[in-house]
Amino acid sequence: MYKQTCTNLLNLSKDEVKAWLDSFDSVITDCDGVLWVYGEPIAGSADAMNNLKTIGKSIYFCTNNSTKTRAELLKKGVDMGYHITENGIISTAHATAAYLKAHNFSKKVYVIGSEGITKELDAVGIAHTTVGPDQMHGSLGEFMSKHLVLEKDIGAVVVGFDEHFSFPKMTKAASYLSDPNCLFIATNTDERFPMPTLVVPGSGSFVRAIQTCAEREPIVIGKPNPAICAPLINQKIIDPSRTLMVGDRANTDVLLGYNCGFQTLLVGTGIHQLSDVAEWKQSKNPEDKKLIPDVYLPRLGDLLPFIVDKATGGSY
Torsion angles phi and psi, residue 192, rounded to 5: -155, 160
Tell me the residue length of the chain. Answer: 316
**Cβ atoms of residues 273 and 288 within 8 Å:** no
**Cβ atoms of residues 250 and 288 within 8 Å:** no
Amino acid identity of residue 153, one-letter, is D
CA dihedral sign, ordered 114, 115, 120, 124: positive
Rounded to whole angstroms, the maximal C-alpha distance in the chain is 75
Binding-site positions: 30, 32, 223, 248
Task: Tell me 266's DSSP state.
Answer: E
DSSP bridge pairs for 157: 110, 184
d(CA 112, CA 210): 10
Instruction: Tell me the catalytic residues.
Output: 30, 32
**Cβ atoms of residues 250 and 290 within 8 Å:** no
d(CA 147, CA 137): 8
**SS3 label, residue 222:** coil
